[in-house]
Amino acid sequence: MLDKIDIQILQEIAVRAGKAILEIYEQPFEIETKADKSPLTAADKASNDIIIAGLEKHYASIPIISEENKQLDYDTRKNWEYCWMVDPLDGTKEFIKKNGEFTVNIALIHKNESVLGVVYVPVKDTLYYAIKGQGAFKISNGGSPEKIHAKAAKAGEIVRIFASRSHLNADTQAFIDQCKEKFADVELVAAGSSLKFCLLAEGIAHIYPRFAPTMEWDTAAAHIVATESGASVTIPENGEALNYNKENLLNPYFLVQV
């Protein structure tokens, strides 16, 4: 199946969705509140409509899990060999704050593993993508793909740790304090949404601890970008990788690093 997916088609879908988001971003917009108290805007809906239409047009046989779609029962989902995992606008809070740190995310899941991901940053016109076994890449302003590589944290160097603008909590602070004891110089780098995975994948920071709730669609696309860049995305308690299309679509806490 993976060899039948045209990554360029997915990139074009993500960019179209990103352009629709920017049209709304650049003018006044209303904010709704979903049942889980998270914010929702017309941009989330517009992006979702474009992505779903594009995926259904080109890959009608592959079911879709999207943040903005009604979720099917696990009894149905558990039998899927492949599915799409979509977050049409990851970082809605960042979108509302107008800091530009939001992304469009499309991932292909094989059984429980993310095997392909496209992450588009509309404000920067920057696209990250990865396919299992083929490496991770960055495209800036429609240019040529550039292969990217994550960097390991090393003693004696400045170690950069991502901390979410919206979700820094006591557990994360405790982890950061431990790193300060281990490394001589620790610098915190703030960023929103799945962008943190991608910036780590290109070596801008070394460690991303996420000790706060996320959903599978928040991480699936950027997960494969990170791992194909040389990083790991694991659960601290057991060292296992994040799994997808679980019965409960809530992620456990995780750690991204080389």
Mean pLDDT (the chain, rounded): 94
The CATH number of the domain holding residue 180 is 3.40.190.80
**Structural domain contains residue 18:** yes
In this prediction, residue 24 carries a pLDDT of 96
CA–CA distance, 185 with 145 (Å, rounded to integer)? 33
Check pLDDT > 60 for residue 165: no
Question: Which of 121, 148, 175 represents a domain boundary (last residue)?
Answer: 148
- Whether residues 163 and 208 share a domain: the answer is yes
pLDDT digits (tens, 9 = 90+) for 17-65: 999 999 999 998 989 898 888 889 999 999 999 999 999 999 999 999 9
Phi-psi region of 203 (alpha: psi -120 to 50; beta: other; left: phi over 0): left
Structural domain range at position 187: 158-257
Q: Domain for residue 94, yes or no?
A: yes
Share of the chain above pLDDT 70, in %: 98
- Considering the domain architecture, whether residues 56 and 168 belong to the same structural domain is answered as no
Are both 226 and 168 inside the same structural domain?
yes
CATH number for the domain that contains residue 60: 3.30.540.10
- Is position 57 within any domain? yes
Tokens 């099917």 correspond to what residue? 72
Alpha helices per DSSP H over 98-246: 170-182, 195-201, 216-228
List, in sequence order, every residue forming a beta bridge with 208; answer none if it has no partner: 256
| Residue 153 within a domain | no
**pLDDT-wise least confident of 108-117, 152-161, 194-203, 246-255:** 152-161
222, 228 contact by CB (below 8 A): no
Q: What is the pLDDT of residue 224?
A: 98
Same domain, 117 and 235: no
Check residue 189 and give its pLDDT.
92
Residues 10 and 110 in one domain: yes
Q: Are residues 70 and 7 in the same domain?
A: yes
pLDDT at residue 166 is higher than 70: no
Q: If pLDDT is split at 50, 70 and 90, which confidence band does 76 have?
A: very high
Query: Exposed, middle or buried, 23 (CB in 10 Å: 0-12/13-18/19+)?
Result: middle
The answer on 165 and 125 residing in a single domain is no
Say yes or no: 77 and 139 in one domain: yes
Domain's final residue, options 148, 169, 198: 148
Q: What was the pLDDT predicted at 17?
A: 98
**pLDDT score of 1:** 87
Residue 217 lies in a domain: yes
pLDDT for the residue 37: 81
* Whether residue 242 is found in the same domain as residue 119: no
Summarised one tens digit per residue, pLDDT across range 194-233 is 999 999 999 999 999 999 899 999 999 999 999 999 999 9
- DSSP for 32-92 reads EE-TTS-EEEHHHHHHHHHHHHHHHHH-TTS-EEETTSPPPPHHHHTT-SEEEEEEEEE-H
- pLDDT for 155: 84
Give how many domains the chain has, as a whole number.
2
- Tell whether 227 is covered by a domain: yes
0.85 cut: is pTM over it? yes
Q: Return the closest-CA partner of residue 228 out of 196, 194, 202, 248.
A: 202
The answer, yes or no, to whether residue 168 has pLDDT greater than 80, is no
- Domain stops at, among 113, 148, 183: 148
pLDDT at position 10: 98
User: What digits encode the pLDDT tens for the residues 3-18?
Assistant: 999 999 999 999 999 9
Count H helices and E strands in the chain, helices first.
7, 14
Residue 169 banded pLDDT, cuts 50, 70, 90: confident
Same domain, 37 and 132: yes
Residues 78, 47, single domain; the answer is: yes
111 and 236 belong to one structural domain: no
Question: Would 210 be classed as within a structural domain?
Answer: yes
